[in-house]
Structure 1
Amino acid sequence: MYSGNELRDMFLKYFEAKGHTILPSASLIPKDDPTLLLTVAGMVPFKPYFQRQVEPPIPRATTAQKCVRTPDLEEVGKTARHHTYFEMLGNFSFGDYFKKEAIPWAWEYITTVLKLPVEKLWITIYPEDIEAREIWEKAGVKSDRIVGDPENFWAAGPTGPCGPCSEIYVDLGVARGCGKPGCAIGCDCDRFLEIWNLVFMQYNRDEAGVLTPLPKQNIDTGMGLERIASVMQGVETNFDTDLFRPIIDHVAALAGVKYKENAKNDLALKVVSDHVRAVSFMLSDGIRPNNEGRGYVLRRILRRAVRFAKLLGIDKPFLESAFRIIQRDYAHAYPELKENENFILSHLNLEEKNFQATLEQGTQLLQEKVRGLVEKGENVLSGTDAFYLYETYGFPVELTEEMLVEQGLSVDMVTFETAAEEHRLRAKEQSQQMRAVVESTEVVEKAKSLGATPFVGYDKVALSTRIEGLFVSGKEVQDAGEGEEVLVFLTETPFYAESGGQVSDVGLIRTPRAEARVLDVKKGVTGTLYHRVEVKTGVFHVGEPVEVEIDNTDRLATTRHHSATHLLQSALRSVLGEHVQQAGSLVSPERLRFDFTHFSPLTPDSLRAVEGLINEAVLKNMPVKATEMSLKEAKESGATALFGEKYGESVRVVGMGSFSKELCGGTHVSNTGEIGLVKILSEGGIGAGLRRIEAVAGLEALAYLRSLDEQVSEVSQSLKAQPLEIGKRVNTLMTQMKELEREISQLQAKLAKNEVDGLLNKATEIDGITVIAAQVHAPDMEGLRQMADLLRDKMKSGVIVLGAASEGKVNFVTTVSPTGLSGLHAGQIIKEVAKITGGGGGGKPDMAQAGGKDPSKLGEAIDKVPSLLRGFLNK
């Protein structure tokens, strides 16, 4: 049986032997592709090559690509194959080879390398693709095993590259089927599993739908690693493979449940394992949780993981420990899981902590709703209230149902679904309205009529110009007054529009009677500059002359950072090698961020060397000159261009002495000396083969160093040590702390043993059953479980109920030994005990754990144990 890791490596090595270059997985953040939030397929990184927007640097490649898809988020865990994060194995040809090579290689790999039985394999083709049928048959596939499917035609969109495809299916056997007489390829049941899709890009489709053969045909294939692993490992679902089971087993252990014993728990375990994988990989590529775009997708997946963990009874932070399992099993293939560990863990822990607090608020609100129902003598929570909890506090309706069932209540699911659908429709309508403003026909037509806006900001920071157009909410207006947010078109402008990583200028637009603040500036496809402004006072009119002025303090800070970015790239190429390529940047008044290609973290010595070269270039006070020339001349001059960037025939080349020469349209200093000091703040990985450096320059660097100096002074005073002796003093304190921790651990073990001995002496009997019910000292649930285990080992037979208060909460553990003693069930016992302290929980017949919210009721709960046990025994 092959492991998932072995299957990944086997695939890549097979195609490497066929002349393919093994490329690392691209980031989950699509590069220069505004049509996608996330990388959703193995071919996404190669779209520019397939569409010939960029000439491919290699003729053929093979990858294991990280992918995230979320349209079917609610289906995860309910089916055998749905995932958010998955890996797509693929081999690609960029106009090099085609069907007669791709098909035999696929068949050879499936039947010879993986040794899947031929009699279990099926092939689907596009019915009109006779060529593919003939090649499959020649490769060794029997004609009756090839099925035509009119859906087997792939297209990049309404227009563009397209072509037929072939799919490889595995027959998993009658036992996995639906039992219907007509069960065959295409049936909705789980019997026939698609494992590989081979796309033959051989046409270009124009707007009229006419197909024209491509001058260079391409191959794009995709085989899901999780799917082929389930086949090779002989398991029913992807979740039963070694790609998921370690995560599932870890989470199950934390929850005190077992996988495949309870359908509801299994669903939650699958969702959590899937979502933690997705979150870990998204964070490893530098995606940050927030409320928009891919950051929102990440936050939503992370919160779903926490919510479903809560359904399993996991109330404490668990994401870090689950991430460790993923890091252990995947980091050899995806080193960014180790390289970006601090980034990943900091966001995991912060998001989990914040969401736990949100869940607490939601729980309190739910209890208020429950009290209202009880007072009215009702037992059904309205769907509207349930949806409010979901939308506002992130409560899944399943969690609400779980909490209500414990109290003999339920949710009106019909009105819940109605509320959810109404919300979805409203959100869709609002989204369409927002797009309508940005893509307003009136705005587009005005931009077309005006053409490119002359930009004079390289030489001027202020000038007199004229208003050519005003738009409010996508509609053209003649006047705009105080408090309105407006799109403004000017005759010419000094405002730099956001481009090439440099943020736009901000500033003011004035007349003698009105003033507006320019918030940002963007460039449309026509070259027209859109000034988004907020009118502060007065009224602006179309056609009137205005005075415009950029915020020069911000502009100067931005230009320092932009010029420093050019020096940084040259220094990196000098220290690390010519393979370094820019992969993205951000230049703002506050800082610079530079992403680049490199295969490993920079050593401290390398970072110091890079920083040193930059500041040496600054001290040389080299002139910074911008020159317009043809693209061909720029390339011949050795100017560095951004890989994959589209350039026109005429380009702007920015040179800094003999140190740097780049194609760039941004604003820069006149001499490198104006940059001042440059200080690198951080360096880390953001994906396979991608690194990121953040730095500050000029006054921002000075502010950073002053802040650092203040912190050093504060620490040195606290430690009563000179600044240069801080490191030695901290090392001494760390050694002392570790020794103290060891002593504390030893003392806690002794205390626990002494407490256990004391509890054994206080054991009582109820109807012939030995019972220990006590309030004890334990720092957390783990310590409480250990104490219960010690007692059970010594007591042999009986019931144990232990409770401990810690950090304003209550923990309970109950054991019944042997299992089924006098019909007692640990989960039922603990549920009643915890209820007294405002909590709940459950577990197996022999061991259960629970939490409570009111430590003041702990003593009362323990005192009630004997009467509760008698009640259970008398049933």
Structure 2
Amino acid sequence: MGDTGPCGPCTEIHYDHVGGRNAAALVNQDSPEVVEIWNLVFMQFNREPDGRLRPLPQCHVDTGMGLERLVTVLQGKRSNYSTDLFSPLLGAIERGSQAPPYQGKLGAEDAHHVDMAYRVVADHIRTLSVCIADGVFPGPSGAELVLRRILRRAVRFSSEVLRAPPGLLSPLVPIVVEILGEAYPELEREKSQIMRIVGDSEDAFLASLQRGRRIIDRTVQKGGDGAVFPVGVAWSLYRNLGFPLDLVGLMVEERGLSLDKAALDELAVQEAEMKVRNQQADEAPARLQLDLHSLAELQRQGVPSTNDAPKYSYTLEADGRYVFVPCQATVLMLYKDQALLTEVHRGQRCAAILDRTCYYAEQGGQSCDVGYFIREGEQVSVRMHSDPRVRPPMILHPPPYRTSCSRWSRCTWQEVTWCMRSRPPSR
């Protein structure tokens, strides 16, 4: 499970491809003969950021089955790649490249990494197709960066190991759709877009790959056999040409040089730390979100969701400005440090959950409204946050209270002073 969030004890179901023996000693030992096909997690705790385990308000079982591994068992195969989930792809890769047929070799037997390249391309084109169909595209950060690295790894193995001509990957997409499309209809719906994105991305990286290959070859010629590949050159390939570091390592090792992976890891750590510092300096305060237990307690107490219908009450001025009608509201609950409160004292900062609001709350899209409300004569500036796990939402108004505040306090006036909406929200 993740570092935080729901968790619990688990059990695993393993299958012995040999059978008729006690294979307990081979469980979780990376044996190809004994593989895990099922995992069940008994969700009963929430792991807090400080590491504490708090019981969940409701328990359940989270179960995950390995589809490919189960198909392998049902079809009497020893490898996922021998099943009908992969064999059509492997056949198409053979026809589209200059490589010998796939033989299922592993490790030292696969001396030139040809079978490894078959598996990489087949696996990665499936991943690319499903992710793009779900709206994740190759890009510069987060999940998009992971997908871009997957695509570039597939391009490299296709071009350098399988000796395939440019454009091998995109024609594989219809085969993925044929295999998985019945279960995942979005693949058929997005097939044209998937092919276009994969094809364009492959073309773009091939130019960088050729340039990087020349850089590596020149560096190898200067270094001689058994030398350590310069860390600076490897890092430049990663930063400037977009080569995944594991890909750089493979290309260097295939040419007889070693790579100082510890030094590269240190550079990667330094870059990550710098990104975090820059993000903290430039980014607005993190989105406020109700923790799991507070959310459950609000629902248990019957605290209603915030009525944000007043945000639709607006007029268009002659100068093009939208003017939003103020509204009155009641404080339903206060929230501070992952705890629900009924009152706070002077000088404390907290968030307030109101019964009504005229503000637009940020929910992962455009920015929230900025404004103020007046409580017992005090003007309080606020920015809105919405908890996306609740429909309709609990909208948090995080103000810096300078006086005390308690539940059921009346906000006699709410007014939007700065609207970041590109247009008023539609109903």
Output the TM-score relative to the length of structure 2: 0.61
1:279 Cα offset (Å): 0.2
Compute the displacement of 1:379 (Å).
6.9
Rounded to whole Å, the distance in 2 between the matches of 1:526 and 1:286 is: 29
User: Structure 1's 529 and 281: CA in aligned 2 closer, same or farther, altered over 3 A?
Assistant: farther
Gaps of at least 5 residues in structure 2 are 289-309, 316-320, 325-357, 371-382, 387-394, 401-416
Give the counterpart letter for 1:527 in structure 2. H
Aligned length: 323
Residues 382, 527 of structure 1: alpha-carbon distance in 2 compared, 3 angstrom cutoff: same
State how far apart, in whole Å, the 1-side matches of 2:18 and 2:276 are. 47
3-state SS, counterpart of residue 263 of structure 2: helix
The separation in 2 between residues aligned to 1:329 and 1:222, in whole angstroms, is 21
Q: CA deviation at 1:360?
A: 2.8
Answer yes or no: is the 8 Å Cα contact 2:38–2:66 preserved in 1.
yes
82, 89, 93: which one pairs with 1:247? Answer: 89
CA contact (8 A) 1:382 1:412 kept: no
Work out which of the residue numbers 227, 236, 242 in structure 2 matches 1:388: 236
Partner of 1:168: 13
Is structure 2 residue 199 aligned with structure 1 residue 353? no
After superposition, what is the alpha-carbon deviation per residue over 1:4-61, rounded to whole angstroms, capped at 9, x for unaligned? xxxxxxxxxxxxxxxxxxxxxxxxxxxxxxxxxxxxxxxxxxxxxxxxxxxxxxxxxx
The answer as to 2:117 corresponding to 1:268 is yes
Structure 2 CA distance for aligned equivalents of residues 291 and 529 of structure 1 = 35
Q: Distance in 2 between matches of 1:403 and 1:186?
A: 31
Q: 1:176 to 1:327 in 2, by over 3 A?
A: farther
1:420 to 253, 264, 272: 264
Partner Cα distance (1:505, 1:170) in 2 = 52
Residue 275 of structure 1, CA deviation: 0.8
Question: What pairs with 1:228-377 in structure 2 (closer than 5 Å)?
Answer: 228-257=70-99, 258-260=101-103, 262-263=110-111, 264-312=113-161, 313-369=163-219, 373=222
1:307–1:396: 8 Å Cα contact kept in structure 2? no
Of 202, 205, 226, the residue aligned with 2:68 is 226
Instruction: Report the residue type matching 1:337 in the other structure.
Output: L
Whole-angstrom distance in 2 between the partners of 1:168 and 1:378: 45
Q: 3-state DSSP class of the match of 1:173?
A: coil
Take 1:293 and 1:399, find their aligned partners in 2: how far apart are those partners?
Answer: 19
Aligned-partner residue type, residue 257 of structure 2: V
Match of 2:362 in 1: 499
Q: How many angstroms does 1:397 deviate by?
A: 6.7
Q: Contact 1:166–1:199 (CA<8 Å) still a contact in 2? A: yes
- CA distance, structure 1, for counterparts of residue 67 and residue 79 of structure 2: 13
The one-letter amino acid of 2:129's match is S
- Residue 97 of structure 2 contacts residue 165 of structure 2 at CA under 8 Å; is this kept in 1? no
> CA separation in 1, counterparts of 2:82 and 2:22?
18
Tell me, yes or no, if the aligned pair for 2:226 and 2:257 is still in contact at 8 Å. no
Indicate conservation of the 8 Å contact 2:5/2:46, yes or no. Answer: yes
What SS does the aligned partner of 2:139 have? coil
SS of the residue corresponding to residue 63 of structure 2 reads strand
For residue 203 of structure 2, what is the amino acid of its counterpart?
Answer: K
Question: Who is 1:429 aligned against?
Answer: 273
Distance of 2:42 and 2:226 partners within structure 1? 62
Q: Relative to 1, partners in 2 of residues 1:394 and 1:439: Cα closer, same or farther, differing over 3 Å?
A: closer
Give the residue type in structure 2 aligned to 1:392.
N
Mapped to 2, the partners of 1:229 and 1:295 lie a distance apart of 29
User: What is the alpha-carbon distance in structure 2 between the residues aligned to residue 399 and residue 393 of structure 1?
Assistant: 12
Change (3 A) 1:527 1:233: same
Question: In structure 2, do the counterparts of structure 1 residues 404 and 526 end up closer, same or farther at CA, with 3 Å as the change threshold?
Answer: closer
Q: Contact (CA 8 Å) 1:167, 1:194: kept in 2 or not?
A: yes
The one-letter amino acid paired with 2:102 is Y
Q: Equivalents in 2 of 1:549, 1:402: separation in Å? A: 53
Measured after TM superposition, the shift of residue 377 of structure 1 is 11
SS of 1:183 mapped into structure 2: helix
Partners of 1:405 and 1:218 in 2: CA distance: 47
- Show the 5 A alignment for 1:679-718: none
Cross-structure match for 1:53: none
Matches within 5 A, 1:467-482: none
Task: Name the counterpart of 1:191.
Answer: 33
Name the aligned partner's letter for residue 34 of structure 2: F
Give the Cα separation in 2 of the matches to 1:332 and 1:241.
17
Q: Secondary structure at the match of 1:410?
A: coil
CA RMSD of aligned residues (A): 4.6
1:113-152 to 2 correspondences below 5 Å: none
Q: Is the 8 A contact 1:401 1:410 kept in 2?
A: no
Deviation at 1:367, TM superposition (A): 5.0
Deviation at 1:316, TM superposition (A): 0.8
Cα–Cα, structure 1 residues 157 and 550, in superposed 2: closer, same or farther, change >3 Å? closer
1:635-714 alignment runs, 5 A limit:
none
Contact 2:17–2:78 (CA<8 Å) still a contact in 1?
A: no
Q: Normalized against structure 1, the TM-score is what?
A: 0.32
Q: 1:187 to 1:359 in 2, by over 3 A?
A: closer
Q: 1:159 offset after TM fit, Å? A: 6.1
Cα 1:422–1:315 shift into 2, 3 Å: farther
Say if 1:383 and 1:412, in contact at 8 Å, map to a contact too: no
Q: Classify 1:166/1:367 alpha carbon distance in 2 versus 1 (closer, same or farther; 3 Å).
A: closer
Letter in 1 for 2:236: Y
Deviations 1:283-332 (CA, angstroms, capped at 9, x unpaired): 11222222123222222211111112122212411111111211121212
What is the SS of the residue equivalent to 1:230? helix
Change (3 A) 1:272 1:391: farther
Residues 290 and 319 of structure 1, relative CA distance in 2, 3 Å threshold: same
Q: What letter matches 2:182 in structure 1?
A: H
1:382–1:220 distance in 2 versus 1, CA, 3 Å? closer
